[in-house]
Amino acid sequence: MTIRNFLELIEFKAKAASVFPFCIGILYSIFNYRTMDMLNSIIFFIAMFLFNTAVDALDNYNDYFRAHSEHDYKQKTNIIGRERLSTKWILAYIILSSGTAALLGIYLVFKVGLTLLLLGIICFIVGIAYSTGPRPISASPFGELFAGFTMGFMITLICTYINVVNAFSWTVFSILSVFLISLPSTLWIANVMLANNICDFEEDTIEKRFTLVHYLGVKKALQLFKWNNILAYVAMILAIFFHLAPILLILGLLSIPLVYRQLQLFSRKQIKRETFVCSVRILGIGSFFQIISFILGVIIV
């Protein structure tokens, strides 16, 4: 297996989807609690990254064996069949990386408390169920919801908790506050999966993957894609209004013209190799502006 094949197997290009919520969690902790635990953050980042690669590798692994259209998808589209990768090696990597992530998570549990264990178990269950079993989440109408929830909200929540530990109170207000600050990332991550499912609509129908697009139709799915972007910016404004983020987060709105451009491109044409990248760019542009403006606000305040 070449490095290029490995990076495609773990979908390395999409790893920013988990890095952005992690950064938001750290910035939220610093701004609202005036604290950060560097060691806990590094350990969590490694565990998070390893498990994320395991989930994506597992997704490709399961899709390969579950494929119905033998010639088109299994041998031409899926990285395992196309590059004739060893399934035994891939399974070994999945076990090793997810096992290492679990051990690092257990170490953090001993440091910060059993609440983290519950949060970790939820993430592991969703990660495995995402592509495993007779009815995986990724092939259901709930894929976008769970992808955004775990990678957007849960990563930010865990990152906040491990940085502030005893200062964090598990109240409805505290949880909703983290949810609001993580909502832009949550929506943009969900949109990446939504865009993928829109582009793969015909292939998914053949493969009997009945995603959200199957139930909404492409036209309504595109409307949802647009409204998710609008709500992401509304969430930024509300975070400032409720004093959960520095006022300079308003600079994040400067990304709107760039995001709108990508939204237009994707709305006109939904082709995997040409315009799916628009959803990834929106995630990158929107999150980058959000994080940079948040950093400026933290420094100045």
pLDDT tens digit string along 143-180? 999 999 999 999 999 999 999 988 899 999 999 999 99
Query: Residue 11 belongs to what domain range?
Result: 3-300
Count of residues in the chain: 301
Q: What is the pLDDT along the chain (301 residues), one digit of tens a residue?
A: 778 877 877 787 777 788 999 999 999 999 999 999 999 999 999 999 999 999 888 887 887 777 665 556 666 566 776 767 778 888 898 999 999 999 999 999 999 999 999 999 999 999 889 888 778 898 899 999 999 999 999 999 999 999 998 889 999 999 999 999 999 999 999 999 999 999 988 888 877 788 999 999 999 999 999 999 999 999 999 999 999 999 999 999 999 999 999 999 999 999 888 899 999 999 999 999 999 999 999 998 7
CA pair distance 267, 158, nearest whole angstrom? 34
Kindly report, residue by residue over 57-97, the tens digit of the pLDDT: 888 788 777 766 555 666 656 677 676 777 888 889 899 99
Q: Would the CA dihedral through 70, 132, 4, 270 be positive or negative? A: positive
DSSP 15: T
Q: Which two tokens stand for residue 136?
A: 């995986």
**Who's near 141: CB < 8 A, 6+ residues apart?**
210, 211, 212, 214, 215
CA distance 191 to 231: 12
**Total domains in the fold of the chain:** 1
Q: Which of 216, 176, 158 is nearest to 37 (CA)?
A: 158
* Range list of H helices, the chain: 3-9, 16-33, 38-66, 79-82, 87-112, 114-129, 143-148, 155-164, 172-199, 201-206, 212-216, 218-241, 256-268, 272-275, 277-300
